[in-house]
Amino acid sequence: MSQISLDLIKQLRERTAAGFSDCKKALEEAGGDIERAIDILRKKGLAIASKRAGKEAKEGIISAYIHANKKIGVLVEINCETDFVARTQEFQDFAYNVAMQIAATSPICVRREEMPQEILEREKRIYEEQLREQGKPENVIPKILEGKLEKFYKEVVLLEQPYIKNPEITIQDLLNELIAKTGEKILIRRFVRFQVGE
C-alpha cells in the first residue's frame, strides 16, 4: 500500500470532521479512495453510536438560536453522559448547528417514531388521492406511497434531514460523528421552534 498523502488526509478531514489518525486509517483501508473512506468513517461512527445506545444520557445543554431577522427562534435540548463533554466547544457547536438547522428547515419531530399519527394519516390520504387522480393502478399505489412517505420523512424528521451546511450528510450522520469523537451517548431530546405570527 503506497503512502497516503497529507493532502488526501486533509481533504477527508474537511469533508468528515474526523480526527487525523481516523482519516489516515480509513484512507489506508479504502486504498486511497476518498468516497470509500467516507463510508468507512460513517460505519465506524454508526458502530460506536449503537454501542453507546444503552447508556444513560442525563447531562447536556439547552442551546438557542435566534435568526437575524428576530422572527424565528429555536430552543433545543441535547443530552450526553457527562458534564465534561457537555462543556466542550465541539458539543456546544453541534447543539448550535442543530438549533440553526431547526430554524431553517422547520422539522416536525426529532425521530420518525415521534411523528404524530394524525399528520402521517393526513399525508397518506393526500398522496393516495393524488395518485388516484393521476390514474395510477391500485396495485402500484402502496409502493409509490411508500416512496413518497420516505421522502416526507427526510423533509420533516430532524435526524433524517440533509444537514444545511453539508447536504451530503444527514443530521443523524453528524450526530454519529460526534458520538464517535466523544465516545459518549448523545441524543437530541426535544426542541421548540417559534415563528412570529404562527
Helix-helix angle 34-52:171-182, to 10 degrees: 70
**Each residue of 129-186: pLDDT tens digit?**
888 888 888 888 888 888 989 999 999 999 999 999 999 999 999 999 998 888 888 9
63 and 105 part of one domain = yes
To 5 degrees, how large is the angle CA 14–CA 112–CA 53?
A: 65
**Residue 1 located in a structural domain:** no
H helix runs in the chain, sequence order = 6-16, 20-29, 34-52, 83-86, 89-105, 117-133, 141-156, 171-182
- 18-41 pLDDT, tens digit per residue, is 667 778 888 999 998 988 988 887
Model pTM score = 0.70
Residues 67 and 105 in one domain: yes
The answer on 163 and 106 residing in a single domain is yes
For 33, the domain range is 6-52
Chain segment 120-135, per-residue pLDDT in tens: 999 999 988 888 888 8
36-45, 66-75, 76-85: range with lowest mean pLDDT: 36-45
Same domain for 80 and 43:
no
